[in-house]
Structure 1
Amino acid sequence: MRALILALIFATTSANAEGFGPAGLLSGKNKEDLPPITLSAGAPLTDAPWILKSGTYYEFEIQGDGSQELALIGPEFFRAIWIDEIVVEGLEIRPLGLDSIEFDEAGEMEIGFVAIKPGQYYLKIPGSSGETQRLDITIE
Structure 2
Amino acid sequence: MKALMMAALMAATLPAMACAEGAEMGLAGLLSAGNKQDLPPITLSAGAPLAAAPWVLKSGTYYEFEIEADGSQELALVGPEFFRAIWIDEIVIEGLEIRPLGLDSVEFDEAGTMEIGFIAVKPGRFTLHVPGSTGDSQKLEITIE
* TM-score, normalized by the shorter chain, greater than 0.5: yes
Matched position secondary structure for 1:25: helix
Q: Within 5 Å, give how 1:52-91 maps onto structure 2.
A: 52-91=57-96
Q: CA RMSD in A?
A: 1.4
Query: Would you tell me which structure has more helix in proportion to its own residues?
Result: 2
Runs (4+) of structure 1 exceeding 6 A deviation are none
Letter in 1 for 2:108: F
Q: Within 5 Å, give how 1:103-114 maps onto structure 2.
A: 103-114=108-119
- Report sequence identity in percent: 78
Shift of 1:33: 0.1
Shift of 1:139: 0.1
5+ long unaligned stretches in structure 2? 1-18
Letter in 2 for 1:39: L
Matched position secondary structure for 1:132: helix
Matched, 1:50 2:65: no
Shift of 1:23: 3.4
Q: How big is each residue's C-alpha offset from its partner over 1:97-118, in whole Å with a ceiling of 9 and x where there is no partner?
A: 0000000000000000000000
In structure 2, what is the equivalent of residue 31 of structure 1?
Answer: 36
Query: Which of the numbers 92, 96, 102 marks the counterpart of 2:97?
Result: 92
5+ long unaligned stretches in structure 1? 1-15
Shift of 1:24: 1.0
Shift of 1:50: 0.1
1:23 and 1:68 map into 2 onto residues whose CA distance is 40
2:134 and 2:27 map into 1 onto residues whose CA distance is 43
Shift of 1:22: 2.4
Q: How big is each residue's C-alpha offset from its partner over 1:21-69, in whole Å with a ceiling of 9 and x where there is no partner?
A: 5231001110000000000000000000000000000000000000000
1:36 and 1:45 map into 2 onto residues whose CA distance is 8
In structure 1, what is the equivalent of residue 134 of structure 2?
Answer: 129
Letter in 2 for 1:80: A
In structure 2, what is the equivalent of residue 5 of structure 1?
Answer: none
Matched position secondary structure for 1:76: helix
